[in-house]
């Protein structure tokens, strides 16, 4: 009997917990008006942190000492810098930024660029270094 209850608990937990991980990206909206950048945390655990980010003008060139960042562009377009290279980027593009890599973006679209940023390991914002 105990094993049946345990199995039922595991099934219930996996169904309930699994639903937390399905997110409708199109339904995520900025919670406030913003001048240039708005960041909304979607999830975080010791392995990674996921954010929705809206950019109206630019993100200054910076790097993360200990984090890899994967950026999926959901809308908008612009010029993305990775170290000394510049790439034209737009909706659907995936940018992989290895740790310790200078990167930034200038927005060319009239609407804000919306990206999903996944940082690994978990990101607390304390290893971001801006380029002078």
pTM over 0.85: no
Domain limits, the chain: 27-130
User: Is the domain defined by 27-130 classed in CATH 2.60.120.10?
Assistant: yes
Q: What SS3 class is residue 100? A: coil
The span from the CA of 98 to the CA of 75, in Å, is 23
pLDDT tens-digit readout, 35-90? 999 999 999 999 999 999 999 999 999 999 999 999 999 999 999 999 999 999 99
Beta-strand relationship, 68-75 and 94-97: antiparallel
């Amino acid at each position: 009997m105990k094993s049946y209850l345990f199995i039922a608990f595991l099934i219930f937990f996996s169904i309930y917990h699994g639903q937390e991980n399905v997110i409708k990206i199109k339904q995520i909206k900025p919670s406030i008006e913003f001048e240039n950048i708005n960041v909304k945390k979607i999830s975080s655990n010791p392995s990674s942190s996921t954010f929705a980010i809206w950019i109206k003008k630019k993100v200054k060139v910076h790097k993360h000492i200990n984090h890899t960042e994967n950026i999926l562009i959901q809308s908008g377009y612009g010029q993305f810098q990775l170290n000394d290279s510049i790439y034209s980027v737009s909706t659907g593009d995936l940018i992989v930024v290895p740790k310790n890599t200078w990167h930034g973006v200038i927005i060319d679209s009239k609407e804000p660029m919306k990206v999903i940023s996944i940082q690994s390991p978990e990101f607390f914002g304390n290893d971001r270094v801006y380029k002078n």
